[in-house]
A and B are shown apart, each in its own frame.
Chain A
Amino acid sequence: MTDKIVETVLEYAKELVKQNVVGSGDCISVRAGEYLIASDASVALADLTAGDVKKILLTEAEGEYALHAAVYKNKEDVLAVCHCHPAWVTPIAEVNGKIPTVADDMAQIVGINCKTCKNEQKAIVKNLKKRNSILVEGDGCVTTGRTLNEAYACALVLDKAAHCYVGSAALKKNVLINVFEATLMNVVYKMKYSKKNQQNLQSEEGNRNVG
């Protein structure tokens, strides 16, 4: 694995900690050819060092890494996975299991709503086929991206949307973005708005074809 990829994993581990969207059992990874480069799932992201960044063959991944590997195998365009535990996201599943489309940045990067699925690899992978983020029953959320930057941004936006949803209890009901407009924003984000930036970031984060 290249030093640049390790640096990227360390950089975003630090950012997730800084933005307080971490909890117990966080794990972030990027895909590099037939391998995944991941943070050690048994080490808190706050304590992560270069020695804790692992290189694992997709076909030999086990436990938490098997989940990441399954996501990569099932979605060619995903090059980064972020399994984290943002404070406002985690408890939503206890109530009704979804974060509605309350803000335009959520509509753009996550899409319409974000549901909760069972805490099983099969269910998570299945749910991530048609979306880039999913809440996991009792285990935070899994966000994906074309870069680690995008998976990280997804986690922040999801946490903010969850906070907006919960915070509205003190005010009045959120006005939701309608399905047509949310879908339109999501398509424009993927096909146009973010395209150039994601291409730039892919080279910035390290060459993913280098195992």
Chain B
Amino acid sequence: MWDKEREQELRRLVKDSGVKLLEENLVQGTWGNISVRLDEDNMLVTPTGLDYNHLTPEDMPIVRISDPSVWSDGKKPTSERKIHAAVLAARPEINACIHSHPVFATIMASCRMPLPAFTEEMQRVFGGTVEVGAYGLPGTKKLKEGTVAAMQGRNACFMANHGVFCVGKTMEEAFDVLRLLEKSVYEYIQQKTLEKTGEKVYSDELLFKLFVKKHKK
């Protein structure tokens, strides 16, 4: 059992993390969700479909990790809580999970392309190539199983046509994983654009020219 003071601290952490996702445009609207471990069989998660700016720490429900259909306190939990529960159950060293819809990573997710770990930092932080979880509708078993499989031995994965799932020992670490993933995809796209155009300097205009060329064929 955890103490109440710690619970309040973690409730505030989840609330602030949701606002941070919006502020950094790592998610839009009410999408995405966050969890933090309370103890080995309980986690706090964000509720379903509510604006992060208007949530209060008390709105976060407590969900049982071994059976995520069981929840108490707070508002109705996110429908993706089963993914959070499965990852936390399988990885005792992980205490925080973020599912979000960042811009660059969603490009990879929509192409269903894995991201090779092309730097030592990526290898260390992600644990290797960032894989793509199988496509599934939101809240489905297919989405859960695809994401959990792609997270094996990794701290991040893409969710096909959807977004990303990132984890860390702490919430701060999970955010670091998420931010590095965005930065790495951006660099990867720049690199691929230069390879395909033969140019030396990347610009968004160059990428757009490549797009126009491809679509005017």
Whether the Cβ atoms of B137 and A157 lie closer than 8 Å is no
Candidates A156, A160, A181, A197; contact of B49 at CB < 8 Å: A197
A160 with B28: in contact, given A103-B106, A104-B138, A175-B111 (CB under 8 Å)? Answer: yes
Whether the Cβ atoms of A175 and B208 lie closer than 8 Å is no
CA distance A173 to B214 in the complex (A): 10
Whether the Cβ atoms of B162 and A104 lie closer than 8 Å is yes
Candidates A96, A149, A170, A177; contact of B161 at CB < 8 Å: A177
- CB B166 to nearest CB in A, in angstroms, measures 17
Q: Mark B106-124, 1 if CB is under 8 A from A, else 0.
A: 1111111100000000000
Asked if B129 lies at the interface with its beta carbon under 8 angstroms from chain A, I say no
A171 with B108: in contact, given A185-B137, A193-B48, A200-B50 (CB under 8 Å)? Answer: yes
Q: Mark A146-188, 1 if CB is under 8 A from B, else 0.
A: 0001100100110010011111111111111100010011000
Whether the Cβ atoms of A102 and B110 lie closer than 8 Å is yes
Asked if B192 lies at the interface with its beta carbon under 8 angstroms from chain A, I say yes
A95 with B212: in contact, given A19-B25, A102-B110 (CB under 8 Å)? Answer: yes
Closest to B28 in A: A156
Which of A's residues lie within 8 Å of B, judged by CB?
A: 19, 87, 91, 94-96, 102-105, 108-109, 149-150, 153, 156-157, 160, 163-177, 181, 184-185, 193-197, 200-201, 204
Whether the Cβ atoms of B110 and A170 lie closer than 8 Å is no
Whether the Cβ atoms of B137 and A184 lie closer than 8 Å is yes
Which of B's residues lie within 8 Å of A, judged by CB?
A: 25, 28-31, 48-51, 54, 101, 103-104, 106-113, 135, 137-138, 160-163, 189, 192-193, 196, 204, 207-208, 210-216
CA distance A195 to B214 in the complex (A): 40
Candidates A19, A167, A184; contact of B107 at CB < 8 Å: A167
Interchain residue pairs with CB less than 8 A apart (5): A104-B162, A105-B163, A157-B28, A160-B103, A171-B111
CA distance A201 to B111 in the complex (A): 34
Interface contacts beyond A102-B106, A170-B189: sample of 9 additional A-B pairs, CB < 8 Å, sorted by A = A96-B215, A103-B110, A160-B106, A169-B196, A169-B211, A175-B110, A193-B48, A196-B50, A200-B50
Candidate in A19, A102, A175, A181 with the most chain B CB atoms within 10 angstroms: A175
- CB B7 to nearest CB in A, in angstroms, measures 25
CA distance A166 to B104 in the complex (A): 11
Candidates A91, A105, A168, A172; contact of B208 at CB < 8 Å: A91
Closest to B212 in A: A95
A104 with B51: in contact, given A109-B29, A171-B107, A173-B111 (CB under 8 Å)? Answer: no
Candidates B29, B48, B49; contact of A157 at CB < 8 Å: B29
Closest to A156 in B: B28
CA distance A156 to B31 in the complex (A): 12
- CB A130 to nearest CB in B, in angstroms, measures 21
- CB A160 to nearest CB in B, in angstroms, measures 5
Closest to A153 in B: B29
Candidates B29, B103, B111, B135; contact of A168 at CB < 8 Å: B111
